[in-house]
Amino acid sequence: MKSDEFSYQSSQAKGAKLRIVVDGNIEGSFYGFDGGRIFKFTNGQIWEQAEYKYHYHYAYRPAAQIIEDQGNNYLQVNGMNDRIKVKKVR
């Protein structure tokens, strides 16, 4: 298995291979998920929340990953059990 792939065990797709698209830190303060939030990574990439989900969680420069799963991209922030569907802005 490549270093940018890992197995994800879930009730939806046991053993599905996911690909880490971005592994880094979100720039500045992070306030969780809310409709249409923008997430800027320290590498300059910008991602926008693409589905509505509200989950408050404060962190400063949290480690985060963009994970590709079955053609969709998701933001997973360390310290949160939830992930959110996102789309790349730039």
| Cα 43 from Cα 56, distance rounded (Å) | 24
- Whether 37 and 86 have beta carbons less than 8 Å apart is answered as no
Spatial neighbors of 9 by CB under 8 A, at least 6 apart, are 15
Beta-carbon neighbour count of residue 30 at 10 Å? 20
pLDDT of residue 17: 79
Structure tokens at 20: 């880490």
Spatial neighbors of 83 by CB under 8 A, at least 6 apart, are 67, 74, 75, 76, 77
* 90 residues of the chain, pLDDT tens digit each: 333 444 443 434 556 678 999 999 999 999 999 989 999 999 999 999 999 999 999 999 999 999 999 999 999 999 999 999 999 998
